[in-house]
Structures are given as structure tokens and as C-alpha cells.
Structure 1
Amino acid sequence: MAEDHRRGPPVSGRTRRVRARADLRAQHLGPITALRADGRAVLVSGSGDGGVRRSDAETGGRMTGTTSGRPEGHDTVDAEQLLWRLADRLAPFPNAKPDWFDHAGDLVVADGPVIWETPWVTEGGFTHRLPAGTYPVHVGTSACTPDDHDPDAFRYTTRMLVVPLADPDRIAQAEWDVECYDDVHMVEDYAVLWGEEAMRATLPHEDGVPAFFPDVRDRIEAEGPHLRRDNWAEVVLDRDTGVNALVFPVTAENLNGYEIVDDEENLLCLVLTEAGW
């Protein structure tokens, strides 16, 4: 269960049922050409309803439904199909669904709570307990224009992180009607995914900012975070244990989290999304 995170010993967290979110529409402009994870070139541009229109860069044909990357016709659930099902089910509103999924890297956890946060902004946030281990982190991104009045502000943003702890079939067969956070979990510009041991390895923090962050932010910005999908960074924080942090640019101001568990309450999959309110 998610726990309230307050930089001391975690206390019992509060949860709430998944609620319907308002359909908040952001104006997406373009066009730009992007390369999807499967190698297909996609032309991304704004649509009249404030959404994103995607078309095949070679044929010009509009990409909708499964042609946007969602696989179909499989008897068993593979990793990619699972990611798209999770996005369809847990994205807080239609335009918050990712357009792409990529493997961002592996999160190394020594044994303790994990959080996705802006350390100097997130107060009273929520953590998730993962066993010690190394876990793949899949990042869902999409194109957006944060400022409707400035079409040149086009950028890629992180919409969702998926951290599976079990095989796709087992996750797919579990109950997905799960609870999420029932309070604010604020972030700003960048959100760091890391465990308690990784955070403690960076103490003390000046004004709440870990010492590694300015260099990581500069590295991300130097490589053009607005014009490429792979605009995240990894930093190893303890060479002995290998615990690390993954840093993602975000446009959301609040985040949400879901834990998919089996009948014995064993965590099978952690899904972190932007909040739809």
C-alpha cells in the first residue's frame, strides 16, 4: 500500500478509489517528425479538438487505434500489450495517454520505499514498498504544448511510469480496480524516481535539492529535452550497492500512483501517472 512520505520513518498512507477525471484538453501543435520505439516515423501535429493527430510519415495515413502502437490479436499478453492496456485503463484523461512507451532503464532498490518526486517540492508525498532487486522502468511519453498561446513551446513530456515486478500475463490476470492516492503529490518540472537508500546516499540536501541534480538537469537540457523522447537521465548514487535514480522532465503539477497486487497482496506492478485534477 502507498505510504505517506515525510522524510522520516514512513507512516500509514491514505488511499482513495479511482475516480473519473475531468477531460482536460491541452492544445497540441506541430507538426514534427518523431521516431516511435518500433522504428516507424510518425508525423505529430495539432488537431482541431485540442488533441494530437498522428500520421505515418511515409504514407501520410492517419494513425488511430492499434496502429498508434497498441498490439492486437495476441492470445497471450506480451509486455508492450500490457503497457497499452494499463495506459487505457489508468491514464487520468484521454489526452494524458502516452503516445509512446520506452524502456527508460532499471531501478535498483536495496529494500525500502520508492517514490517519484521533486525532492524540494513534494511534501507529504506517497511511497511504495518494493523488495530489494532491479526492476525495469517503462516510461510513457507524449507530445504536448504546455502554453496554448506559444506553439513553439512544443515538447515531449512524461505521462506515465510502469514498473513491473511480475510477468505480463500474471499482471494482466490480476484485479485492476485498485485504489490510488487521496491527497496531493506535488511535482515541478522534474520528477526523480528513487528509493529510500538512494535518497539517503545523497544527504545532506541544500534547500532540499540533492547535489547531483543540477548536473543531471544541465545534462538533460544540453541534449534538448523538448525535441526528443528519450529526455530522461539515470544517475548511480552508491557504487557499492548500485542504487540509482531516474530523472524525468514533467509538465504535470501532481502525480498519482496505483499498485496492482495478487490475491496475497504481493505487489505485481507499480503504475505512476500524472494526476487528472
Structure 2
Amino acid sequence: MIELLVIPANQSQRRPNWLRVKLPVGKEYASVRGLVDTHKLHTICESGNCPNMGECWGAGTATFMILGNICTRSCSFCAVSTGRPLAVDLDEPNRVANSIKLMSVKHAVITSVDRDDLKDGGSIIWAETIRAVRRESPATTMETLIPDFRGIWDNLYRVCEERPEMISHNIETVRRLTKQVRVQAKYDRSMEALHRISEFGLRTKSGIMLGLGETEPDVIETMQDLANTGVHVLTIGQYLQPSKNHHPVMDWIHPDQFAKYKEIGQQMGFKYVESGPLVRSSYHAEKHLFDQVV
């Protein structure tokens, strides 16, 4: 039996000390904060109350969400509202590009809700957004954190053909917990999406949350599956429950356990592994743009 370095959440409801963060400070952060407030710009960093917002903004990185704020899926870990989305905003690509230019973002992470209601899965807006950012801020690099497009691969390839510097798709949890954590998603479909992105010749990234009830063998199996698909960058972080109506935190994973997973991931051949309690999908995203994919 393998023993995880964890604190069962039902024995300690308070967050452990290693999950405390410093308040964001610094000239670069203050500058971006001022632009966001003055021009009423929207970033996931802010609306998601990300603990790394100050560090990322200080490094010139920000995350934006497109295709609205209502998702067609109801994942038990996610705070985004579920329901019938509004009509697609055709001007959204230009507004996102203008925000990135105004904020002087060096590296933009763009994500979206799932739009299973659309025939193209939102991929047309995705492609237009990438093109708009390149037009307005040609020096800005991009990571696109995309959905699985329900396995309609022509929609996936529409994004791939724009060749952003990184394409991400998060597996989120281990195979055993996928049905209860990612209700409408499929573990193998996500793995196939990542494999197809990697085969397209693009930098590929995925992320896992811990503390949902997984075991160490579960995590290692998922890491190996990701490595086998050709994923280059892996992020591993602690799951935090958005509200009492979401999936509960089952365990607080100790930093030593995260360090162990990082070492295992490096041995598996990932080009870059971010593993720690406060790691989020876009954490240190600008550092993941290594010069060449092997």
C-alpha cells in the first residue's frame, strides 16, 4: 500500500499554512491593476480570484475567457455558471485583442467555456481571436486552453491551424474520478485531443487537480497516459472547492507530495513540470515556451 502525504479534509477543514499567499504588490502589478480598473477589462485572473494573480501580472502574463461566461457543461469542480449560453459575440475577438494590447501583455493565456450548443464548438471565434491578437500585438505569445470540442476533430484542427505557441487541454482529474468530476467529459477523448494536438507538431500542455479523492497510483497512471500522448508541459495543483455546492476537497496534499510528482514527471520525459499546492493551469505559463519541442 502506498501512503500519500495528505491531510484528510474532513479532519481539518481549515486550509493548511502552505496554501496561504502574499497580497499582490509591485510596480508592474499596480500598473496592470490600474488599467483593468480604468478600462473595465475582464480577466479570469481577477474574476477567478487566482492566488497567483499578482505574480503573473508582474511577469506580464494574463488570462482571458472567450465565448461568454455560461458553460454548457456542469463539471462538479468548476465555478463557471451552467446553462444556455447567450448568442456568440462576433466582436469579442477584437475586444480581447484590444485588451491585450492596452495591458501590454507579453504572454496571453486564452480559455473558454464549453459551447456544445454550437456546431463549430466555438472554434471559429477561437481562430478569429488568435488572428486578432496577432494583428494587434504581434510580439505577444499565446497559450490557448481549449475544450475537447466533443471529439469533432475538424473544430480542434481549426484552432491548431492558427498555430498558437501553446495549446492546452486539461485532463483535470484521474480516470477513476472523471465521470463524477467532469460529468460530460470523457477521459479517453481528452487524451485523444492532446495526442492529435501533439501530432500536429504543436507544444501541448495539460493539468491535473489533486485532493479530489485520487490515490498516488491513480495520479501516476494519468501522468503516464499524458506522457504517452506527447504532452510536453504538465501542471499539478491543489483543488480548492469554489462553494459548498461543488465537489468537496477530500485531501490537502502536502508540498512534499507535489515535489515527488514533479520528480516522477521529469523522469517520464515531460519538458516542463509545475507541481505545487498553488499551481494553476496558467501558472508560470510564459516559462513553458521552450525554444524547441523534441
TM-score, length-scaled by structure 2:
0.24
Q: Which of the two has greater strand per residue?
A: 1
Q: Which of the two has greater helix per residue?
A: 2
TM-score, length-scaled by structure 1:
0.25
The one of the two structures with greater contact order (alpha-carbon pairs below 8 A, sep at least 6) is: 1
